[in-house]
Structures are given as structure tokens and as C-alpha cells.
């Protein structure tokens, strides 16, 4: 089930912020009414594709900041695993230098509520639980507006890394629509012409392209 058009699920969980500070009660609620949020999941700490994504978002963090967007990562690892990885040099497979928050979803409930958990809990007749599947998150990404509503989501399987440029493009498209009331056509990029959401507007746009 897609979360687009719905309120993002609420949670309170431990997180590591500013590259090394453990916060026990982190929540996206702090951004409501203030910032947009790019909230993304990755499978696990100390893996191979994951650091390329985490570092790629950090390299572009100034662009997100300029657009009033908070970037927040999340995996099913503990806050202590996050902290250790954040202290590890890049040359040793670490992500030292990443400053945006990394949320610890050890109970897997956040990933489950966002629909990105690669598996599920099963219960026998006596109520005992077991997990079937891979106890990690897919590469889900959710663009959340200032009202806490999900406006865009993507979910990749674990081997498939994301494109930070596309995330920024979607931020630009959302903010352009909110400001101008015009919708963004296929392959639209910041600075390009959009179109009015009417038959006349579509016809005018197509006549120029």
C-alpha cells in the first residue's frame, strides 16, 4: 500500500545526530510546520551499497538545506552500530563526516509501518512469533511535506542504489507546484517551464515542445 497522499507514520526512536550524538527520543514531528523531510531507509550498516548512498546525500546536504529540507536516514541497526559506523573512516568502509540523523529501528516497526520491511512476523497457534524473510529494510525513500504528508515515495530492492539528483528534482517539483500552482511534466527540471493543470494549459505546453 502506497503512503502517497497520507500522513507519514509517527514514531519515536533512538538516533545518532551530528555525527556522534545519541538521542533516545528522535521523531520527525520536530519538523512539522517547519521543514520538508527526505526520510529514507537502507538495509544495514557496514555494507557495500549503503555507504555510497549515505555519503552521496551528505555530499549534497547543503542543497537540501537551501531548500529547507531535512534529510534523515534509517535502518534496523542499533544506535550503537550507527555510532560506530559514523566513527569509522571512509577508507575503512565507514561513513565518518555524515552529520544528518540516522534512526535506529531495532524493533523493525518503523520499516514495517512505512511498508519497506523485507519480511514479516508470523505467529503460531500459541502466539509465539518468528520472522520470515530478510530482517532488513528495502531502499525506501519518502518525501514528506511540511504538513507531514507523503508526496513522493520510491522503493528499491537491496542491490539497487538510489539517485540523489532525482530526489532533489522531486523536491524542486513539489516546491514549484506549491509556489506557482503549476504541475511539472515528464523530465521537468528546475528552471524549466511547467504547465497549468487544464486542457488549454496542456495544449499550450505541447505546442511548444
Active site residues: 50
Q: How far apart are CA 123 and CA 177, in angstroms?
A: 45
- Note whether 143 and 36 are within 8 A (CB): yes
Q: Which contiguous run of DSSP H or E holds residue 118?
A: strand 117-123
Report helix angle 49-59 to 164-180, nearest 10. 40
What nine digits make up the cell of 143?
Answer: 518525501
> Which of 175, 149, 176, 189 lies closest to 39, judged by CA?
149
Angle ∠(47,52,56) on CA atoms, nearest 5: 145
Bridge partners, 104 (sequence order): 75
Amino acid at each position: 500500500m502506497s503512503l502517497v497522499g497520507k500522513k507519514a507514520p509517527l514514531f519515536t526512536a533512538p538516533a545518532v545526530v551530528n555525527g556522534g550524538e545519541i538521542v533516545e527520543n528522535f521523531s520527525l514531528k520536530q519538523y512539522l510546520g517547519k521543514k520538508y523531510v527526505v526520510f529514507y531507509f537502507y538495509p544495514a550498516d557496514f555494507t557495500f551499497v549503503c555507504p555510497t548512498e549515505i555519503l552521496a546525500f551528505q555530499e549534497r546536504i547543503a542543497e537540501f538545506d537551501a531548500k529547507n529540507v531535512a534529510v534523515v536516514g534509517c535502518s534496523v541497526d542499533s544506535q550503537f552500530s550507527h555510532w560506530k559506523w559514523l566513527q569509522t573512516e571512509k577508507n575503512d568502509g565507514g561513513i565518518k563526516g555524515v552529520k544528518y540523523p540516522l534512526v535506529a529501528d531495532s524493533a523493525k516497526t518503523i520499516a514495517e509501518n512505512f511498508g519497506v520491511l523485507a519480511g514479516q512476523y508470523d505467529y503460531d497457534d500459541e502466539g509465539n512469533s518468528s520472522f520470515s524473510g530478510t530482517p532488513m529494510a528495502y531502499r525506501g525513500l519518502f518525501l514528506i511535506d511540511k504538513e507531514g504528508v507523503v508526496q513522493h515515495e520510491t522503493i528499491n530492492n537491496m542491490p539497487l542504489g538510489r539517485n540523489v539528483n532525482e530526489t532533489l528534482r522531486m523536491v524542486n517539483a513539489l516546491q514549484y507546484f506549491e509556489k506557482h500552482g503549476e504541475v511539472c511534466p515528464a523530465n521537468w527540471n528546475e528552471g524549466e517551464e511547467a504547465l497549468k493543470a487544464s486542457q488549454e494549459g496542456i495544449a499550450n505546453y505541447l505546442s511548444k515542445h
